[in-house]
Structure 1
Amino acid sequence: MNQPLTTTRLEDLPVLSFFTGGGFLDMGFEKAGYSIEWTNEMNLGFVKFYEHGMTEWRRDRGIAQPEAKIKAPIRLGDLGGSAAVLKHAFPNGTPKLFGMIGGPPCQDFSIAGLRAGFDGTRGSVTHDYCRHIIEMRPAFFVMENVTGLLQKNHRASFEKLRESLGLDYLTDYAKLNSLDYAVPQSRERLFLIGLRRDLVTKALTDDQKKTVPTESWAGWSTEQDLMHRGARKRCKWPTVELPDVLPNVPTCKTILALSVNDCLVASEEEATIANATDRFNLRSKKAISTPEGMVGNRCFKRLHRYRFSPTACYGNNEVHLHPWLPQRLSVREVLRIQGVDESYVLPPGQPLGTKFKMIGNGVPVPMAFGVARTVARLAAEYCGFEINASALLDLV
């Protein structure tokens, strides 16, 4: 059994990443100073993208590491029980402290999906992830999922899941919107985090233990972008434009900062920007005639240049239409909407559908960075961990 330490540097804790996908959650945590030591992803297409994109991204940041690799490119269940996972992740012995992050596949809880919930194939994977948390006893954990888990038909099961985790962990959850983290995308996600209770009680004095809250204690908004938080309701956003009418440039700096306009690649720059020409062909006359800003229809949603994107992709990985050109957004443009750095490049010659699916599944990187900073702050406050303050202030 892991033995608690009174203090340690958070950046020295190895972090296990489950359901890694393209590594967007990992990028956010690495930017905040964490060390991702082990990864798990079963989709072999995503594995290729992660290894290529993360290698390029880390090298651009000057991180001297070997090429990025998915350490366990198989289904989580095929790794065996928790003891087998620990042995695979730490072949030289399990450290006293480590962290776990992951976003289990969530289609069974999504509004657009079958909503089979915890009885569905993907819902059971959420159970598996939580079981591994309980049995492996990381110092902290993060679980990301869709907000459908909080709906009436899933809420009781979610609370039972949280209750089982709460025996050994001080937990909190929140429905967060990526727009509040300065991402040009209004996308809500559920985050559940936990700190191991024995580490909390070890670090605090008796008087401090009496004041530890049990509900809504994380203070999530602390790490959100102060200038842009609440902008969806606060700002007067443009809607649908009349045909052949050029939208006025907004005078509001917040609207300009959170609109997709800066995510678009100019035609003359496409040849020099990686993944800028990776897009689905568009042949539908109906799509071409869709006015700018029309995103309420079921398909052929066209973004407004001075408005945020509703999501990265939608439906069955359908890609939004360019605000004014007769084409869909490119891989690079959708990556930008997800807050992914330009140095993260996807390899050529791979299926476009797999690329967009991976991008759409990912957590927006600035949002992941914000959550990572929240966990670091709480680990320092409640567990006495030492944190790298410069890493937490690095918004680059």
Structure 2
Amino acid sequence: MTAFNLTPQQPANGLTVLELFCGGGLGAVGFKAAGFDIVKALDFDKNAVKAYRHNFGDHVEQADISTINIESLPSTDVIFGGPPCQDFSVAGKGAGVDGDRGKLVWRYLDIIAAKKPKAFVFENVKGLISKRHRSTFDGLLAKFSEIGYEVSWQLINAWDYGVAQKRERVFIVGTRKDLGFKFEFPKPLEGDYRSLVLRDVIGDLPEPIRQSNGGHLSNNYATNYEMANRLESFDRPGATVTAHHRCSYTHPKNEPRRFTVRECLRIQSVPDTYVLPDDISLSAQYRIVGNGIASRVAWYIGVALADQLKENA
């Protein structure tokens, strides 16, 4: 079994990053591989922070971004990350900006207004551009412009960018107006567009260790053998890996079962070098993976942003 990696390491680009709502670092995988130096990362969830620290080091801090002293944050070239998205989810209650998590969208904007990075990358669920929340989205774009940013946005399906998963997420990229350019989203590289299927990313993995409910993982390959509700196909991309379903689609091979954490990581385009610590519960591991940004999509956007910042320095 060869080591799985869809985020080839680019040379250091000399740009620094403050990562907000960093989760377990799936997006950080892509940004680091794109050549960025992440100098500070913040998240409220202790398990996500533990996973991030295990893989990337001590620059991560468990903190409540809604109350942190903004002046204490480092000034960086780029701010990266998406506020928790449940309040904008089509499947959720749809509380939007009135929800506790929805309010973090405006906190994110306050931090950018105060720190004035050259650029920011904001990621959120498709529901943010739904009819219910479109006025919030348009208001957010207007506010980003007011505080001095040229803004581009796109609904990105990870499957279009070399990820074996149908995962649609909204990305907003802002560049400071004094830099004189507007970010252009990258086109998929040749061979990436809707090309990978589950067989390509998980077909070589061993059958998992059988695991009882609530037990602890061994090397990210254990699984619960609870029956799940949807049979996947090796010849298609995976459905969206979610946090609350614990990747609850049925594996297409052999005995019906859930996907393992490692399988979910690969479906999220995370390299095998990324490992979740054994002392994080199985349910928390699934949540970390489901909440993450697909690593290869972050890599694509990171590479394009670094190139465009360099061209317009």
The two structures have a TM-score, normalised by structure 2, of: 0.87
Unaligned runs of 5+ in 2: 1-10, 211-216
Give the Cα–Cα distance (whole angstroms) in 1 for the partners of residues 259 and 18 of structure 2.
33
CA deviations on 1:31-72 (whole Å, 9 max, x unpaired) are 111100000011001111111133xxxxxxxxxxxxx02533
Higher helix share: 1
Residue 118 of structure 1 corresponds to 97
Total equivalences in the alignment:
294
Write out aligned runs for 1:314-353 (5 A): 315-324=244-253, 325-353=255-283
Q: Cα 1:334–1:316, aligned 2, differ >3 Å: closer, same or farther?
A: closer
Partner of 1:258: 197
Percent identity, aligned pairs only, is 30
| Superposition deviation, residue 317 in structure 1 | 3.1
Asked if 1 retains the 8 angstrom alpha-carbon contact of 2:164 and 2:197, the reply is yes
Match of 1:192 in 2: 172
* Aligned-partner Cα distance in 1 for 2:145–2:183: 15
Distance in 2, matches of 1:327 and 1:312, equals 15
Deviation at 1:269, TM superposition (A): 9.9
Structure 2 residue matching 1:176: 3-state secondary structure: strand
1:267 match:
207
Query: Among 60, 68, 73, which residue is 1:71 paired with?
Result: 60
Per-residue Cα deviation, 1:324-357 (whole angstroms, up to 9, x for no partner) = 2222111111111111111111111321110000
Give, in whole Å, the separation in 2 of the partners of 1:343 and 1:23.
Answer: 12
What is aligned with 1:303? 232
**RMSD between superposed Cα atoms in Å:** 2.3
**Cα 1:192–1:135 shift into 2, 3 Å:** same
- Counterpart of 1:293? none
Task: Give how far 1:309 is off.
Answer: 0.4
For the 8 Å contact 1:112–1:315, the answer to whether it is kept is no
Q: How does 1:26-41 map to 2 (within 5 A)?
A: 26-41=28-43
Find the counterpart in structure 1 of residue 19 from structure 2: 17
1:138-149 aligned within 5 A: 138-149=117-128
- Does the 8 Å CA contact 2:268/2:294 hold for their aligned counterparts? yes
Decide whether the 8 Å contact of 1:24 with 1:362 is kept in 2: yes
- In structure 1, how many angstroms separate the alpha carbons of the residues matched to 2:63 and 2:244? 26
**Larger fraction in strand:** 2
Aligned to 2:279, what secondary structure does the other structure show?
coil
Distance 1:314 1:118 in 2: 21
Cα distance change on mapping 1:161 and 1:267 into 2, 3 Å: closer
5+ residue gaps in structure 1?
Answer: 1-8, 55-67, 201-211, 232-253, 288-298, 385-396
Q: 2:190 is paired with a residue of what secondary structure? A: coil
Q: Deviations over 1:224-279 (max 9, x none)?
A: 233232x3xxxxxxxxxxxxxxxxxxxxxx4xx33345314223999xx9734321
Aligned partners of 1:160 and 1:268: how far apart in 2?
Answer: 47
Q: Does 2:218 correspond to 1:220?
A: no
**Whole-angstrom CA distance in 1 between matches of 2:124 and 2:270:** 19
Assess if the C-alpha contact under 8 Å between 2:208 and 2:260 holds in 1: no
Can you list the C-alpha shifts for 1:91-141, whole angstroms capped at 9, x where unaligned?
xxx5xx521001110000011111111111111011110111112111110
Match of 1:360 in 2: 290
Distance in 2, matches of 1:26 and 1:69, equals 14
Q: Matches of 1:70 and 1:106 in 2, distance apart?
A: 24
Letter in 1 for 2:264: V
- Asked if residue 280 in structure 1 is aligned to residue 224 in structure 2, the reply is yes
Q: TM-score, normalised on structure 1?
A: 0.69
SS at match of 1:152: coil
After TM superposition, list the pairs within 5 Å mapping 1:77-226 onto structure 2: 77-80=66-69, 82-83=70-71, 87=72, 89-90=73-74, 94=75, 98-167=77-146, 168-200=148-180, 218-222=183-187, 224-226=188-190
